[in-house]
Structure 1
Amino acid sequence: MNKPASISKFLRTLTMAVLGFYGSGLPAAAQVVTPAWSAPASTTVVAEEREFQNGDVHLSGTLYLPGGPKPFPAVIALHSASSATRDLPLYQHLKDLLPALGYAVFIYDRRGSGKSTGKRAGTDFNTLADDGLAALRMLAADKRINAQKIGFWGLSQGGWLSVLAASRSRQVAFAISISAPLTTPDVQMNFAVGNILRVKGFPDEDIRAAISTRTAVDDFMRGRGDRPAVEQMLADAAKRPWFKYCYISPMLDDPAHSQWAKEITLDPITTLNRVHCPVLLLFGADDPWVPVRISAKLLSKMAGKKADLSYAVIAGANHEMATTVAPEKELDSSNATAFAPDAPAYFGILAKWLSQRGRRLTLH
């Protein structure tokens, strides 16, 4: 892909300011000391606790409002699989960067997490997307928010949800999908598991066996395959040293009650084709969790047919749009909530696209 179009001086300055914040190596909570010589900032942010309902589920979040003329456009953050609460590092850059662009930002706790009620287990993607749409309706009723300019941002699973929510309502003004592949979830996980095992030093023979086992389970979830045969395959695989890295249970679930069986029905391409608002999709070139090469090829074919579709693959960036994390650390599930974006191109493209939202951009 060609390099993205150059970013204005203002956006370059803004990007470097954000990079300086994250490049310090200190958590956001540590950045609280104000020097005696500090001048008043041009950008002020007011945080408000907000609550809303989706059916009988009570959801809680924080709305970050910039200064300046109202009403504000707004971005609603949807959750990655591992980052369920508003306080996690992944979302900090949205609070810091977007108000400087004049955007309100709303980040809420996913159902079953933080201050939100309900349960994540057994909940399908459509319901999670509808939680986001309930947040949109809540913001649209606020006179300080421009009801015609509310959109979604999400990373990984949240990227899928952003596009899915946009496909389910014409009220959505835009959708931003970060590190969410255009493959089905099972294809994505086979890619990720292969990389996990590769990084851990397993030979190709073991990687093929692991993916074969995962594929057999996925086929069974789709109604194909013989249960006793798949159960025996799982029992044999569970004895192998690679099995614990495969993200599958040694016990075969009932497809009728399996959350995974629901999730693998997601077809990102079909969903994207149903969207009628501007969409930005960004990928990290070095992402070990997502088959970026496949996704970029699919997008290159779609871009000419969808005038409001923009995408870019960012050199040196990983799944979280970070450039400073070794693959061994990124693929360690114990670090799942530890990382935040730091790629300069990510900040720049995101800021540029939002500042020109609704216009066709030449990003590829």
Structure 2
Amino acid sequence: MWVRRLFLVPIVLGFLALAAWAYFVRPVAPPDARLACHYGAYEFDGGRVAAVTPTSGPQSLRITFLDGQTWRLDPAPGDDTLFGMKEGWTDRAWPGDQVTFGSCAAGTMTIEHHGPKFLTGKRQTLDTTDATFESHGLKLAGRLVMPRLEGAIPVAVLVHGSERDSAILFNRLQYLLPASGIGVFVYDKRGTGKSEGSYSQDFNLLSDDAAAALKKARELAGALASEVGFQGGSQAGWIEPLAARKANADFVVVGYGLAESPLAEDREEVFDDLRTAGYGEDVIAKAREITDATGRVMASDFTQGFDGLDAVRAKYEKEPWYPKIEGEFTGDFLQNPNWLLKILGPIFDVGTSWEHDPVPALKAYDKPHLWILAGRDSSAPSANTLRILREVQASRPNLDIVMFPTADHGIIEFEEKNSERLETRFSEGYFQLVADWILFKDAKVQVPGPVVYSGKAAAPSEPPQP
């Protein structure tokens, strides 16, 4: 038996090395360069605005309207100008729905949607300036995108989430915001796209990068910028408040982030899954013992806490709810032996600031600040974040909060089928809210559904003057 186990060790290690290579290198087919001329902001009949960006597929595109509608565009065989349409991130398509692009020089597109309904769009002309800037000795790649307008306008530095893709290629807001009268500076985070360095989730380091990006944006925009701030989603919620004080940002916009630590993100995902499965607070209390144990292992960089992990495994492994535990990492910890975690953990370590407390930075930032939350967020459950932000808001009347109650992570709407979520579109009003708030610093939503917690309303009223 031991001979067999020893024989299996190099095989297992080989698979681990292969998995690490696939995870970190992740070779994917780049977007088709022939389609790059179609990327951009388009204005359609009736004033509708959309962004066309590449997808992770080699020849596919995605169109996203400012109102949140979005389709994946897949090329027709043998025709570089004709594309079929699939709703959201589903495989749902309707016969006859298609998009036709004009020549690169023409910059036009026509959408045929549900029969005889046509939309014709024209690509807008935006001024773009590619640049590099330095942070901790690395050269990072960025791009300033400005609409052709008279006078100074706000500029938003687009801060990344945890993705490993090039933001300069894929971030749709570099088109949607300029089409709404806002300049943007988009950059590839370290270790992605054209930026140097290794991918990292060290929030202090990444906030230094974001602060350097904002400094570069101010330099490039000059007198054309009335103010320069941050906009980003998910992991950006930890990075932006740190960077805002370092760079003296004029505003901060965070979408679907957390006002808790990354360890809390794992914990709340576990609790959310168990509640969805019908378990009550008695089970949640037991699950908390498990997430506390897995959190200690993770925060120690896989050097401590394994005795405690063994103890909760033995205590609860026969419980009916135990196999349902997932989370960011807790489910994996429960399903794999300690020796494997000790090998695999350091291989996949990217310096994540697991115990980062975002509240001090939130309280310290005293300029206009907007948080947008998803009420049914499966990746970053938002209930505790809403509570924390409301507490901060009492002393920060320039902090606005908007909750999209039916949205998942990314402020994406979905349908449920066989316990699976089919993502269909971005929430109506989301992109317009981001643009309007940056322009006017007033949290107003023009569609029914979202819940607005205005900072002005939360602030205690001043006593009457004698």
Q: Which residue of 2 aligns with 1:232?
A: 310
**Secondary structure at the counterpart of residue 110 of structure 1:** coil
Match of 1:173 among 219, 234, 250: 250
- Equivalent residue for 1:353, pick from 429, 432, 437: 437
1:98 aligns with 2:98: no
Q: Which amino acid aligns with 2:196?
A: T
Shift in Å, 1:318: 1.4
**Count of residues in Structure 1 that have an aligned counterpart in Structure 2:** 339
- The CA deviation string for residues 81-110 of structure 1, in whole angstroms up to 9 with x for no partner, is 135421675x21x13321123212222221
CA distance in 2, matches of 1:262, 1:153: 21
Q: 1:155 aligns with which of 224, 227, 233?
A: 233
User: Is residue 292 of structure 1 aligned with residue 382 of structure 2?
Assistant: yes
Question: In 1, Cα distance between the equivalents of 2:343 and 2:286?
Answer: 20
Q: Tell me what 1:304 maps to.
A: 394
Question: Shift of residue 185 of structure 1?
Answer: 1.7
Distance across 2 between alignment mates of 1:324 and 1:118 = 36
Higher mean alpha-carbon deviation, 208-217 vs 50-59, is at 208-217
Whether the 8 Å CA contact 1:310–1:360 is kept in 2: the answer is yes
> Does 2:206 align with 1:128?
yes
Asked if 2 retains the 8 angstrom alpha-carbon contact of 1:221 and 1:261, the reply is no
SS of alignment partner, residue 107 of structure 1 = strand
Contact 1:49 1:62 in 2 (8 A): yes
2:162 corresponding residue in structure 1: 81
Give the stretch that moved more between structures: 190-199 or 262-271: 190-199
Which amino acid is the alignment partner of residue 291 of structure 2? R
Would the alpha carbon gap of residues 82 and 197 (structure 1) be closer, same or farther in structure 2, given more than 3 Å must change? farther
Distance in structure 1 (CA, Å) of the matches to 2:424 and 2:157: 17
The whole-number CA distance in structure 2 between the counterparts of 1:208 and 1:46 is 55
Give the CA deviation at 1:310: 0.7
TM-score normalised by the chain length of structure 1: 0.75
Q: Shift of residue 193 of structure 1?
A: 3.2
- Higher percent of residues as strand: 2
Structure 1 counterpart of 2:399, which letter?
L
- Higher relative contact order, structure no. (Cα contacts within 8 Å, ≥ 6 residues apart): 1
For residue 290 of structure 2, the aligned residue among 205, 213, 217 is 213
Q: Cα gap change, 1:15/1:182 in structure 2, threshold over 3 Å: closer, same or farther?
A: farther
Distance in 1 of aligned mates of 2:343 and 2:241: 28
Tell me, what secondary structure is at the counterpart of 1:291?
coil
5 Å-filtered alignment, 1:1-364, equals: 19=65, 23=69, 25-27=71-73, 32-33=101-102, 34=108, 43-82=124-163, 84-86=165-167, 91-92=171-172, 94-121=173-200, 123-144=201-222, 146=224, 149-170=227-248, 172-196=249-273, 211-220=288-297, 227-230=305-308, 232-233=310-311, 241=323, 246-248=328-330, 249=333, 250=338, 251-252=341-342, 263-324=353-414, 326=416, 342-357=426-441, 363-364=452-453
Quote the offset at 1:187 in angstroms. 1.4
Highest Rg: 1 or 2?
A: 2
Distance 1:143 1:73, change over 3 A: same
CA distance in 2, matches of 1:133, 1:341: 32
In structure 2, the residue matched to 1:5 is none
SS where residue 162 of structure 2 aligns?
coil
Alpha-carbon displacement from aligned partner over 1:195-215 (angstroms, at most 9, x marks no partner): 45666x697798776653331
The answer as to whether partners of 1:190 and 1:214 remain within 8 angstroms in 2 is yes
Secondary structure at 1:113's aligned position in 2?
coil
| CA root-mean-square deviation | 4.2
- How far is the alpha carbon of 1:295 from its aligned partner? 2.0
8 A Cα contact 2:133 2:216, kept in partner: yes
Distance of 2:410 and 2:290 partners within structure 1: 28
For the residues of structure 2 that align with 1:221 and 1:26, how far apart are their CA atoms? Answer: 37
**Cα deviation 1:243-268 (Å, max 9, x = unaligned):** 77651554259999996885133222
Deviations 1:57-104 (A, max 9, x none): 121133322111254421111111135421675x21x13321123212
CA distance, structure 2, for counterparts of residue 28 and residue 167 of structure 1 = 43
For residue 191 of structure 1, what is the amino acid of its counterpart? E
Distance 2:351 2:219 in 1: 36
Q: 1:310 to 1:209 in 2, by over 3 A?
A: same
Q: 3-state DSSP class of the match of 1:26?
A: strand
Cα distance in 2 for partners of 1:185, 1:310 equals 23
Taking structure 2 as the reference length, the TM-score comes to 0.60
| In 2: Cα distance, 1:183 partner to 1:198 partner | 20
Contact (CA 8 Å) 1:174, 1:277: kept in 2 or not? yes
What CA distance in whole angstroms lies between the structure 2 residues aligned with 1:24 and 1:180? 22
Rate the CA distance shift 1:16–1:173 in 2: closer, same or farther, 3 A.
Answer: same
Letter in 2 for 1:178: G
Relative to structure 2, which stretch is displaced further, 250-259 or 296-305?
Answer: 250-259
Q: CA deviation at 1:16?
A: 9.1
Structure 1 residues 28 and 312: alpha-carbon distance in aligned structure 2, compared to 1, 3 A threshold: farther
8 Å Cα contact 2:144-2:217 kept in structure 1: no
Identical residues among aligned pairs (%): 22
Alpha-carbon offset, residue 126 of structure 1: 0.9
Change (3 A) 1:307 1:361: farther
Range that drifts further, 190-199 or 72-81: 190-199
> Is the 8 Å Cα contact of residues 320 and 340 (structure 1) preserved in structure 2?
no
Any conservation in 1 of the 2:258–2:265 contact (CA below 8 Å)?
Answer: yes
Unaligned runs of 5+ in 1: 1-11, 332-338
